[in-house]
Structure 1
Amino acid sequence: MRAFFSLALVVLLVTGCATLPGANYPKEASTALANPETTRLGRQLDAKAREHPGLSGFRLLVQGVDGFLIRAEMANAAEKTLDLQYFIIQNDNTGKLLMDAVLRAADRGVRVRMLIDDSDDTQRDKQITALSAHKNIEIRIFNPFYSRGVFDVLRYPEFLFTGTRLNYRMHNKLYIADNAIALLGGRNVGDEYFQASSAREFGDTDIVTAGPLVRQESKSFDDYWNSELAIPIEGLGIKKPDPKQLDLYRAELAEHRGKMQGSDYLRRLATNEPLAGIASAGAQLIWTKAELVYDSPEKIKVEAGEQSGPLLRRKLGAAIREVKQDLVVVSPYLVPGDGGVKLLRDLRARGVRVRILTNSLASTDMPIVHAGYQHWRIPMLEAGVELYEVRPVLGKPDGGGGSLKSPSSGQYALHAKVFILDRRRVFIGSMNFDRRSMHLNTEIGLLID
C-alpha cells in the first residue's frame, strides 16, 4: 500500500510539471476518403445530390432506437472508411453491438478511426486497447489524463493539479461512413441514448447528412484527428495493444451478439432501415441549404486570443441576434451566464417571444448543473422568457390531455440540443445553452435553413 501511494505521488508530481501525456508519441496525419463515389453509399447518395444541386439532404432521427440502428447500419454498409468522434462510448448492450459492427467492418478492410474524449475512462480502457490491436482500427484520445487503467482512481487528484488543461473537453458527436453519409447531434453511444436502459432514457436527436456538406463534416473530423491534442492510445498507459486481448474481446462481442439475437434491436437491424430508405429513396431526405459550425480543436487558445480559429458560439450567437419574432431553445443544461441572459433580454426588448425547454430537478442527470440553472431562472423569467421543465416520467399528465409515450421503463431526462430561429432556421448539434459548452467544451452542429 505504501508503494502504491508513493507511485501515486510520483504520478501527481509528473502531471503537475508535464503538459500532455503521449505528446511525443509518433503519429501520422490522415484525411477522409477523397473519392466517396467509389463506394456504394457514395454512388447512391451522389446520384440523389445531383438532383438537388447546391443543396444537402437531411433527416431528423428523434427515436433512440433509430439512433442505434443508423449507426450499426452505417458500419455494416461502409466499404472503405468509418470515422467516429464521441464524448462517451459505453461498453454496455448497445455499445457492444456497435463495437461489434465496427470490428466486423475493420475485418472487411474498412479503415476505422475512433476519436474519443478522455472524460470518462473507467471501464473503457480494456475495450479501447483491445480494438486498437486490429490493423485497420486506430484510436486516439482527446486531451488525455495520465491516470488510467489501474491508476484510474488518481484522476481526481490529477485534475486538482492540472485542472486548467483537463477541464477542457471534446463534446463533439460525429459519425461518418465512406465520406458519403454523416450523423451528428446530441447522442453519445450507450443504452440510455438508444432507449435500451431500464434505469434512464435520454430524449435526444440525431441529424443525418448526405450531399456536399458531408465533406465539410469530414474536414472537421480531420481537424480534430490531426490536432496536437489527439493522442494515439498506444502512447498512453503501461501496456501496448495485445492481439490476444483483441481475440478475447472479439469472442465477448460475438457471445453478446448471440445473446441479443431475440432482441427487437437486432430484429429491426435485419431490415436495414432507416439507412436503406435514406440511401435509395430520396423522399426520406429533405434537401436544403445548411452551414456546418464547430469549434476549433484549440478552442481554449482561440478564446484567449492566442490563435485564430472558429468558435461555434459566435456563429450561433450571430444567428440568434437576427431573430425577429420567435426563438425556441431545447437545452438539457441551462446556465446562460451574464452574456446569455443579456442576449435573451435584448431579444425580449425587441418583442421576440423566447421559449426554453430544459430539465427539471426531478429529471436531470446532473443536479450540480441544475443548481447553476436555478441561479439564472429568476432573471430569465423577469426578462419575459417562457421556461418549461421536463417531467421525469413520460405519459399522460394529471388532469387529462395528450400523452407522450416511451418504450423505456426508466426515468426520462432531456438531452437534445436544438435552437429554432423564427421557424425558418434550426440548429441541431452537441452544444448546450450553458457556459461550459460556450467557453470550455468543443462542440459541433448544423444551422439548417
Structure 2
Amino acid sequence: MQIRALLLRAWLLGVLLVLVGCASLPPFEAQPPTSAPAVAEVAQTPLARIARADRPETPGLSGFRLLAQGPTAFNARLTLAERAQKSIDAQYYILQRDVTGLAFLRGLREAAARGVRVRLLVDGLYAPISEDLYAALAVQPNFEVRQFNPLPARSGPLPWRLMRSLGELRHVNRRMHNKLFVVDNSLAITGGRNVADEYFMLSGTANFVDIDLLVSGQAVGELSQTFDDYWNSAEVRPMASLQPVPEREEAARRLDAAFAPLARDLYEPGLDVLGLPSVKTQLDQGWLTQVWADARVLADFPAKIRQDDPEAAFADSVTQRTLAQVQGARDEVFIVSPYFVPGERGLALVEDASRRGVRLVVLTNALNATDETLVYGGYSRYRERLLKAGVKVYELGAELVVRDRRLGNFKSSTGRLHAKVAVIDGRRMFIGSMNFDGRSAWLNTELGLIVESTELAAQFRQLIDERGPGAYELRLDEADGAMLWVERDIDGAETVRRQEPGLNPLYRFRDWLMLQVLPEEML
C-alpha cells in the first residue's frame, strides 16, 4: 500500500484521535557525528584501485555505468558489499522484508562481521516492517542503524501508527525519498530503486522498470557528504532510542533465522542489455566499464521536511535545479517519471519551452500500470493541455511493456515505470530519486545527479524509447477532441483505443472524491 492511500485513510480516520490520543517521540538527543572515510584511508582498497584504474588525466571527472536490469542492479550491490574493506553507507526510502531486502541486510551483516563499518539509514515510514531486524543489527559490532523522521506512534499496524501520529503531521507526510549505496567511499549506486523484490524483477505480479547509476570518481565524495549530512542531522534517531534492542546472542539468533533460507545472488545473463559483463565479473578481473564525464550531485537538505513555506522548500531543491536544466534546453527534453503532476508552474514552463521550439516528450505510467491511481488522477487533469501545448505524451502500458525484452524478463508479471530521468538536448541527463510532482518539490527530500555526457544519454535512449512497443502514445481526436491511446506493435502497426486502458469507473469516482480533499502537493 502506497503512502498517498495510507495518508488519506489515516486522514479520514483522524476524527478518532480524540478517542485514542496522539503519540509523540521522546526528546531529540544529538549523537556523536561520524563521516565517510577520507580518500587516503581507502586509496589502497581493491575497489578504490579498480575505480580509478582507467580514470582520465582530466581532474574532477566521474565514472558512470547504467544499471538498467533488475538482477544486474541487485547483484552489483551484493558484489560491492562482499568486497567492502572499510565502510558501507546505505540510505533508502523503502527496504522491504522480502527476498531482496533480507539478502541485502545479510550482505551488510556479513560485511560488518569482517570489520567493515556499516551505517544504515532508512526512512521512518516503512521502517516498522523490519524494526525487530534493525534492532538486532544495531547491536552487532561495526553496525549502526538510524531512522529518518520516524513515526511518533511506535506500535501497531502501519495505518494505526499513521493515524496516531497525525498530531505531528510533519512526521507522517514528509519523507526521505533518497536512494544511495556507497562502499569504501570509492564506488556508489544511486538512482530510482528502493530495495524490494519488485525493483529487481522478483515479484510474481508487477515489476518496475527502473534504472540506477554505478558511480566512481569525484561524484562519490559528494554523495558521501550528502549521506553524512543526513546521518548527522536532527531529523534522524538511532534505533536504540526508538525500540529496545536485544542482547547480542538473541540478536544473532534472530538474524540467523531470518537470513538462513536465502540464495546468495540473483540469476543474470552473461551480458547485460548494453552488452556489458556483470559488475561481479568485471571486478573479479580488476576493471570496470565506465563513461567518464562532468557531473553535479543534487541533494535536498535534511531540514527541508521542516519547511512550512512551500517557496522555501522549493528554493535550491533538487526539483528546482532540475527544472532549471529544462528551462535551459534548446532542442529537446525527454522526461521519464512514473508520477508526473506538473502543476500550473510546470505547465507554464512546458508551454514556454514549446513556444521556443523545444521538442518535449513525457513518458509516464498508464492507468493500468500505475501503483498510485491518485497521482494518475492528478496528472490526468493536465493531459489535454500538455498535448495542446505540443508535448508528446506517452504512457507505459502494464501488458505492453513486457514485450520489450530490453527492460527485463517480466515472466508472468506486468510492468510498471519507476525510473526518474530527464535527458536534455541529448547531452545532459538527470537521474535520481525525484519525481516530477509536488511531493518531490515541496515535501520529500530527494537525491540525484546531472551528468554531462552524450554517450550516457545515448545509452539511456537505447534502453527506453517512447516510440517502442511498450507505451501508448496519447493523441487528441481531430474530429471531436477526445483522448486517444495509440498502441504500436513490434512492426509499427497502430491500434487506436478510445477507452482509457485500465479504467474502472468506480475507482475513478473514488479517486475523484479523494482529490477534492487532498492537496495537489501531496500527490
Q: Which residue of 2 aligns with 1:363?
A: 369
Task: Choose 426-435 or 372-381, whichever is displaced more.
Answer: 372-381
Q: Which residue of 1 aligns with 2:260?
A: 255
Q: Residue type of the partner of 1:146?
A: P
CA distance in 2, matches of 1:280, 1:443: 35
Partner SS, residue 298 of structure 1: helix
| Residue 112 in structure 1 maps to residue 118 in structure 2 | yes
Q: Is the 8 A contact 1:325 1:353 kept in 2?
A: yes
Q: Equivalent of 1:432, from 421, 424, 435? A: 435
Q: Equivalent of 2:21, from 12, 34, 48? A: 12
Q: CA deviation at 1:22?
A: 4.4
Greater RCO (Cα-Cα under 8 Å, separation 6 or more): 1
Q: Which residue of 1 aligns with 2:37?
A: 33
| Residue 292 in structure 1 maps to residue 297 in structure 2 | yes
Q: Equivalent of 2:28, from 24, 29, 45? A: 24
TM-score, normalising length: structure 1: 0.88
In structure 2, the CA distance between the partners of 1:283 and 1:165, relative to structure 1 (3 Å rule), is closer
CA distance in 2, matches of 1:396, 1:307: 38
Q: CA deviation at 1:253?
A: 4.2
Q: Which residue of 2 aligns with 1:123?
A: 129
* Deviations 1:156-207 (CA, angstroms, capped at 9, x unpaired): 3234322234211100000000000011000000110011111210100000
Q: Which residue of 2 aligns with 1:144?
A: 150
Q: Which residue of 2 aligns with 1:323?
A: 329
Q: CA deviation at 1:245?
A: 4.0
Q: Which residue of 1 aligns with 2:208?
A: 202
In structure 2, the CA distance between the partners of 1:253 and 1:396, relative to structure 1 (3 Å rule), is closer
| Number of residue pairs the alignment of both structures matches | 428
TM-score, normalising length: structure 2: 0.76
Q: Which residue of 1 aligns with 2:520?
A: none
In structure 2, the CA distance between the partners of 1:123 and 1:165, relative to structure 1 (3 Å rule), is closer
CA distance in 2, matches of 1:147, 1:415: 30
Q: Is the 8 A contact 1:36 1:43 kept in 2?
A: no
The 5-angstrom pairing of residues 237-386 of structure 1 reads 237=243, 239-257=244-262, 260=263, 264=267, 273-277=278-282, 284-301=289-306, 304=309, 310-386=316-392
Q: Which residue of 1 aligns with 2:10?
A: none
Q: Equivalent of 2:169, from 152, 163, 174? A: 163
Partner SS, residue 382 of structure 2: helix
Q: Equivalent of 1:446, from 440, 446, 449? A: 449
Partner SS, residue 302 of structure 2: coil
Partner SS, residue 347 of structure 2: helix
| Residue 89 in structure 1 maps to residue 98 in structure 2 | no
Q: CA deviation at 1:41?
A: 1.0
Q: Which residue of 1 aligns with 2:67?
A: 61
Q: CA deviation at 1:262?
A: 9.4
CA distance in 2, matches of 1:184, 1:378: 34
CA distance in 2, matches of 1:290, 1:234: 38
Q: Residue type of the partner of 1:425?
A: R
| Residue 188 in structure 1 maps to residue 163 in structure 2 | no
Q: CA deviation at 1:280?
A: 5.6
Q: Percent identity?
A: 36
CA distance in 2, matches of 1:153, 1:387: 35
Q: Is the 8 A contact 2:30 2:234 kept in 1?
A: no
Q: Is the 8 A contact 2:72 2:268 kept in 1?
A: no
Q: Is the 8 A contact 2:319 2:436 kept in 1?
A: no
Q: Is the 8 A contact 2:71 2:266 kept in 1?
A: no
Q: CA deviation at 1:315?
A: 1.4
Q: Which residue of 2 aligns with 1:214?
A: 220
CA distance in 2, matches of 1:442, 1:67: 23
Q: Is the 8 A contact 1:65 1:194 kept in 2?
A: yes
Q: CA deviation at 1:9?
A: 7.1
Task: Choose 291-300 or 103-112, whichever is displaced more.
Answer: 291-300
* Deviations 1:366-418 (CA, angstroms, capped at 9, x unpaired): 11111111112122122111110011024687xxx998662442121000000
Partner SS, residue 264 of structure 1: coil
Q: Is the 8 A contact 1:294 1:310 kept in 2?
A: no
In structure 2, the CA distance between the partners of 1:129 and 1:309, relative to structure 1 (3 Å rule), is farther
In structure 2, the CA distance between the partners of 1:327 and 1:307, relative to structure 1 (3 Å rule), is closer
| Residue 42 in structure 1 maps to residue 48 in structure 2 | yes
In structure 2, the CA distance between the partners of 1:141 and 1:261, relative to structure 1 (3 Å rule), is closer
CA distance in 1, matches of 2:288, 2:376: 41
In structure 2, the CA distance between the partners of 1:302 and 1:320, relative to structure 1 (3 Å rule), is farther
CA distance in 1, matches of 2:257, 2:154: 22
The Cα RMSD (Å) is 2.8
In structure 2, the CA distance between the partners of 1:279 and 1:217, relative to structure 1 (3 Å rule), is farther
| Residue 229 in structure 1 maps to residue 238 in structure 2 | no
Runs of 5+ consecutive residues of structure 2 not aligned to the other structure = 1-16, 272-276, 453-523
Task: Choose 309-318 or 108-117, whichever is displaced more.
Answer: 309-318
CA distance in 2, matches of 1:210, 1:280: 17
Q: Residue type of the partner of 2:170?
A: T
| Residue 172 in structure 1 maps to residue 181 in structure 2 | no
Partner SS, residue 124 of structure 1: helix
Q: Equivalent of 2:412, from 409, 412, 430? A: 409
In structure 2, the CA distance between the partners of 1:55 and 1:393, relative to structure 1 (3 Å rule), is same
Q: CA deviation at 1:240?
A: 2.4
Q: Residue type of the partner of 1:25?
A: E
Q: Is the 8 A contact 1:52 1:287 kept in 2?
A: no
Partner SS, residue 52 of structure 2: helix
Q: Residue type of the partner of 2:331?
A: Q
